[in-house]
């Protein structure tokens, strides 16, 4: 009898009985992208090897152990993409950096890493990814965290928590790494073999180790929060203030560093379970953070950026294991063009907009918003160009008084209303 051919190790078939779950995930990603104003981009599965050597870091696990790299017939070194961010940055530099900021992009599809297959982790796997280019404000960080929170709520995964930390900028991070090396200098032999290598290559990764003996040593190590410069402290504190204001719960984890060299400033992870549970790598559902230096390091203009991605197979596994019943909606939400725009002017107004956005989202009403905008005339001009009928304008005074200016763009008239009456007025 001829031996049957089986699938390659680490690959999976998405069977008919799972298609409803996959379809709903992709549908929800599309809905959230439309509502929050992200444009879709599709990048090649094959990229130049140098793109990931320069971005992900030569000492990262992705580069050292996990990349599917090979030489083409033409002698060029290429890889099957192991993650999305460097590909999106490359595409942004080549084609999109001349566009008005911020540029908000999303993508989804397969990635490839040559690592030991586990439940919910495969050598070919799928992710969805959201990135914001050209916004240095912690408001952008909070927007992504709210978007990902909404995704997990809508997909009916309830028992998750969010960990956040700041790994600082180049300046304060180097000071911290120096102190960390001093702390671990006489403890190297007590570390696991991987962390002994990390001490020389990228000492921050020691903090991310899941080995029990390394975690025991870690608990008395210096914390980066104590080494942040004034600018990084201010950014991180503002992010915390925004999350508190919009009622998104989080846990500050001083040992959260992420495994890629390009991260700077705030980083975050969405994990399954309760914050008190023992830290396990396989709990992470969605993760990301700031990468303010990466665009300039890859040849683009100096541009701040923040992004994050979620693993689809892992989310599917959780849905199935918990018997969560989901099915695709009969119609995709937020397909119609927005007739209303939200224009916040000032820091407090931008924070207030988050709650207003949530109200519109829950009522399936699409609105245009540019939380990064700060010029009222420019935003009104953009609204006119988009043929928006109504503008909701919030300045600092309106934000403090819980009011909002409702402007009829066609008639040029406006009135002040209570924020609680927005839906009632828009429905009229």
Q: Rounded CA gap, 215 and 153, in Å?
A: 31
CA dihedral 53, 197, 264, 153 (to 10 degrees): 90
Q: Rounded CA gap, 102 and 160, in Å?
A: 29
For residue 280, is pLDDT > 60? no
Asked if residue 361 lies in contact with residue 333, where contact means CB atoms within 8 angstroms, the answer is no
For residue 304, is pLDDT > 80? yes
Q: Which long-range contacts (CB under 8 A, 24 or more apart) does 211-216 make?
A: 215/279
pLDDT tens-place string over residues 393-422: 999 899 899 999 999 998 889 999 998 888
What is the number of alpha carbons within 13 Å of residue 240 lying toward its C-beta?
14
Q: Rounded CA gap, 209 and 215, in Å?
A: 7
Torsion over CA: 83, 87, 89, 92 (sign) = negative
For residue 281, is pLDDT > 80? no
* pLDDT for the residue numbered 155: 95
Quick one: pLDDT band at residue 307, thresholds 50, 70, 90? very high
Q: What is the arrangement of strands in the sheet containing 340-344, beginning at the earlier edge strand?
A: 367-369, 340-344, 390-394, 403-408, 413-418
* pLDDT for the residue numbered 382: 87
Q: Is 26 helix (H, G, I), strand (E, B) or coil?
A: helix
Q: What is the mean pLDDT of residues 191-211?
A: 88
* pLDDT for the residue numbered 333: 82
Q: Is 161 helix (H, G, I), strand (E, B) or coil?
A: strand
Q: What is the mean pLDDT of residues 53-62?
A: 69
Quick one: pLDDT band at residue 282, thresholds 50, 70, 90? low
For residue 226, give the DSSP letter. Answer: G
Output the six-digit token pair for 89: 């940055």
For residue 168, is pLDDT > 60? yes
More confident residue, 140 or 423: 140
Share of the chain above pLDDT 70, in %: 95
For residue 81, give the DSSP letter. Answer: -
Q: Rounded CA gap, 353 and 342, in Å?
A: 8
162: left (phi > 0), else alpha (psi -120 to 50), else beta?
A: beta
Q: In the chain, where are the structural domains located?
A: 16-169+229-321, 340-427
Quick one: pLDDT band at residue 341, thresholds 50, 70, 90? very high
Asked if residue 175 lies in contact with residue 227, where contact means CB atoms within 8 angstroms, the answer is yes
For residue 176, is pLDDT > 60? yes
Helix runs in 70-134, H state only: 85-91
Is the domain spanning 16-169+229-321 CATH 3.30.930.10? The answer is yes
CATH class of 340-427: alpha beta
Helix runs in 292-371, H state only: 294-297, 312-321, 347-362
Burial (CB count within 10 angstroms: exposed 0-12, middle 13-18, buried 19+), residue 129: buried
Q: What is the mean pLDDT of residues 163-186?
A: 93
Q: What is the mean pLDDT of residues 142-168?
A: 95
Asked if residue 61 lies in contact with residue 281, where contact means CB atoms within 8 angstroms, the answer is no
Torsion over CA: 286, 292, 297, 302 (sign) = positive
* pLDDT for the residue numbered 217: 93
Quick one: pLDDT band at residue 2, thresholds 50, 70, 90? confident
Output the six-digit token pair for 391: 């503008």
Asked if residue 251 lies in contact with residue 268, where contact means CB atoms within 8 angstroms, the answer is no
Q: What is the mean pLDDT of residues 70-80?
A: 93
Asked if residue 34 lies in contact with residue 237, where contact means CB atoms within 8 angstroms, the answer is no
Q: Rg for the chain (alpha carbons), in Å? A: 23
Pairing of strands 305-311, 390-394: unpaired
Q: What is the mean pLDDT of residues 324-341?
A: 84
* pLDDT for the residue numbered 405: 94
Determine which helix (DSSP H) or strand (DSSP E) holds 78, and give its type and residue range: strand 77-80
pLDDT tens-place string over residues 241-279: 999 999 999 999 999 988 777 899 999 999 998 776 655
């Amino acid at each position: 009898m001829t031996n049957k051919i089986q699938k390659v190790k680490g690959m999976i078939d998405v069977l008919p009985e799972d298609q409803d779950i996959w379809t709903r995930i992709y549908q929800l990603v599309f809905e959230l992208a439309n509502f929050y104003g992200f444009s879709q981009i599709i990048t090649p599965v094959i990229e130049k090897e140098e793109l990931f050597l320069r971005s992900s870091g030569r000492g990262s696990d992705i580069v050292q152990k996990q990349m599917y790299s090979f030489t083409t017939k033409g002698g060029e070194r290429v890889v099957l993409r192991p993650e999305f961010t460097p590909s999106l940055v490359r595409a942004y530099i080549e084609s999109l950096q001349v566009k008005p900021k911020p540029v908000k992009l999303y993508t989804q599809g397969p990635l490839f890493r040559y690592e030991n297959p586990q439940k919910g982790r495969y050598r070919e796997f799928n992710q969805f990814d959201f990135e914001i280019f050209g916004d240095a404000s912690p408001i952008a960080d909070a927007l992504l965290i709210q978007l990902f929170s909404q995704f997990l709520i809508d997909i009916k995964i309830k028992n998750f928590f969010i960990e956040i930390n700041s790994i600082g900028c180049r300046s304060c991070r180097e000071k911290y790494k120096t102190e960390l090396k001093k702390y671990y200098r006489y403890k190297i032999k007590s570390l696991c073999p991987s962390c002994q290598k990390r001490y020389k290559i990228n000492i921050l990764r020691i903090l991310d180790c899941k080995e029990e003996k390394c975690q025991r040593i870690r608990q008395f190590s210096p914390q980066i929060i104590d080494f942040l410069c004034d600018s990084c402290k201010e950014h991180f504190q503002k992010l915390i203030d925004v999350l508190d204001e919009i009622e998104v719960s989080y846990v500050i984890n001083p040992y959260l560093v992420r495994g890629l060299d390009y991260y700077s400033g705030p980083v975050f992870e969405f994990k399954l379970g309760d914050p008190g549970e023992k830290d396990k790598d396989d709990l992470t559902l969605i993760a990301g953070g700031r990468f303010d230096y990466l665009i300039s390091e890859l040849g683009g203009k100096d541009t701040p950026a923040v992004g994050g991605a979620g693993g689809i197979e892992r989310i599917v596994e959780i849905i199935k294991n918990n018997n969560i019943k989901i099915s695709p909606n009969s119609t995709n939400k937020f397909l119609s063009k927005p007739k209303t725009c939200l224009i916040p002017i000032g820091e407090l107004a931008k924070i207030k907009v988050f709650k207003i956005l949530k109200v519109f989202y829950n009522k399936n009403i699409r609105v245009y918003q540019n939380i990064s905008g700060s010029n009222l005339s420019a935003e009104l001009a953009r609204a006119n160009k988009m043929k928006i009928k109504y503008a909701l304008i919030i300045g600092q005074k309106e934000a403090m008084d819980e009011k909002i200016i409702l402007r009829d763009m066609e008639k040029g008239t406006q009135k002040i209303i209570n924020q609680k009456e927005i839906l009632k007025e828009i429905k009229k």
